[in-house]
Amino acid sequence: MISVQLSKMMPIKKAIPKEENAIILDFLEHGYPFEQGSMKTPIAQALGLSHLTVLELIPKKGFQLQPHQEVYIGEGKREEIHHIKGKIPVDKLTTTASAELIHVVEKVVDEDQEKFIDFFNKAQPLSMRMHQLELLPGLGKKHMWEVINARKAKPFENFDDLKERVKLIPDPKSMVVKRIMSELKGNEKYTLFVG
């Protein structure tokens, strides 16, 4: 009887979603230049594909990594990556990684269009005055109602379908990319795509 009561009182921990794959933004074969010591560890800065998490990765000995290379970082046997050092903020990225980030985000949005178009199909109100769609840069109330009315008729299939049916939105992919970049930089109160 006591154990049942205790289990009711214990908070349930939610599993933190983990990344399975990442795209390399930059590889520093000799570690960070500002690190002290002669035994510097090679390090890679990468973007996780599922949750768009910016990560530091430690490659296995002897592996050379290239920007835009996709690597497996999940729980199973990893070929190139020894371990994940951890998450890092965008402002800690190298100059190369910072420059590559926008291109990698664009590639992720292109290759996983279904996930991002799903946002347009399923976005909901956040409050009586604010809708999730309005969190996208350049999308106001008028655009929001156009999207909602168009998706009632039939869900959007891809960005081209959205552009065709909602003339007020000339470039939905660009809106998503801008929002992701802003979320990665920590500029947003609500996150739609990151984490």
- One digit per residue, the tens of pLDDT, for the chain of length 195 reads 444 444 444 444 444 568 899 999 999 998 888 766 666 789 999 999 999 999 999 999 989 999 999 999 998 899 999 999 999 999 999 999 999 999 999 999 999 999 999 999 999 998 889 999 999 999 989 999 999 999 999 999 999 999 999 988 889 999 999 999 999 999 998 889 998
In a domain, 158, yes or no: yes
What is the pTM for the complete model shown?
0.85
End-of-domain residue from the set 41, 65, 96: 96
Nearest to 173 by CA among 125, 124, 102: 102
Answer whether residue 1 is part of any domain: no
Residue 30: the pLDDT is 86
Is 123 found in the same domain as 87? no
Residues shown for the chain: 195
Residue 51 lies in a domain: yes
Residue 16 belongs to some domain of the structure: no
Around 81, how many Cα atoms within 13 Å sit in the side-chain half-sphere?
A: 29
Residue 102 falls inside a structural domain = no
Q: Phi then psi for 177, rounded to 5 degrees? A: -60, -45
Number of domains in the chain: 2
3-state secondary structure of 138: coil
pLDDT for 2:
44
Interatomic CA distance for residues 165 and 163, integer angstroms: 6
If asked whether residues 81 and 134 sit together in one domain, one would say: no
Q: Residue 143 sits in which domain range?
A: 112-184
